[in-house]
Amino acid sequence: MNNIKKMSRSIIFTTAMLCTLSGYSATQPDLAQLTEKLEKSNNPAVRPTPRIPVNEPWLAAHEKRQKVLDAGNFDVLLVGDSITAGWSKQPELLKKFFGDRRVMNLAHPADKTENIIWRLMNHSMTNITPKVAVVLAGTNNSNKDEFTEEQIAGGVEAIVQILRAKLPQTKILLLGIFPRGSYEQRTGIKGGLTEAVINPQWEKIDRVNRIIATFADGTNIVYLNINQAFLNENGALPISVMPDLLHPNEKGYEIWGSAMMPTLEKMTKGATK
């Protein structure tokens, strides 16, 4: 009976990967064709969607980032949501880990994959040739049953494909979505909770990560899962690393940088300084 259950799970997982990957090319994607596919998709996690109702400040931030993109070139792009946006609040760690590399942070708090997709679609990137784009996205799509893991993985893949289409010389460092506390665990901090053990939302993220790992080819797209580095000896996520069991603090970004940089160093070797 156990073997039958394992085979069933394997069949379901394989089918999920095929469904997620269908319609996307392993070769250099054509931006016009990709745009049409995403806009017509029945997966809400891949359809380019601006943030509503916080539209005006979100668009203002988008326009401000565009001015920075227009003004100069960059070695590294950071793409994601508030977790990645938090690097901008860690200038000393940015300097420590990225050194003289020019870093552009394109992340925005609370964005889901479809919001990131909209922003990337509507950014002009003709003036930049970054060596690597670091992508971390999808945690904001993981709440409850709003999106399936296959839909979330499709959103992450769409982000990667847009970057490949717009920046053909740029390699993608695709990070596994970080572990996180559930809503109950995060609200339990006020009652003295100091760590999050694995929960249904975290398990869902792990399933997404197993799918997005298959998007990597080891050359143009490199997948890296650093999640274990955030956990304590019991395999739990402590508030000493992520105080709200979602966003890293200074110690969390230190862990992130230390775990990521050996891979990023290899990928940016020979970058113009």
Which SS3 state, helix, strand or coil, does residue 70 take? helix
User: 63 exposed, middle or buried (CB, 10 Å; 0-12, 13-18, 19+)?
Assistant: exposed
- 3-35: string of b/e by CB count within 10 Å (b at 16+)? eeeeeeeeeeeeebbebbbebbeeeebeeeebb
For the stretch 39-78, pLDDT in tens is: 999 999 999 999 988 789 999 999 999 999 999 899 999 9
Task: Give the span between the Cα atoms of 204 and 142, in whole angstroms.
Answer: 7
Which SS3 state, helix, strand or coil, does residue 173 take? strand
| Closest residue by Cα to residue 223 from 205, 211, 241, 236 | 211
> Does residue 27 carry a pLDDT above 80?
no
Which SS3 state, helix, strand or coil, does residue 140 take? helix
117 confidence band (pLDDT: 50, 70, 90):
very high
For the stretch 159-211, pLDDT in tens is: 999 999 999 999 999 999 999 999 999 999 999 999 999 999 999 999 999 99
Task: Give the span between the Cα atoms of 211 and 38, in whole angstroms.
Answer: 19
> Does residue 29 carry a pLDDT above 80?
yes
Average pLDDT over residues 244-255: 98
Quick one: CA dihedral 143, 145, 150, 152, positive or negative? negative
Element (H, E) at 212: helix 200-212
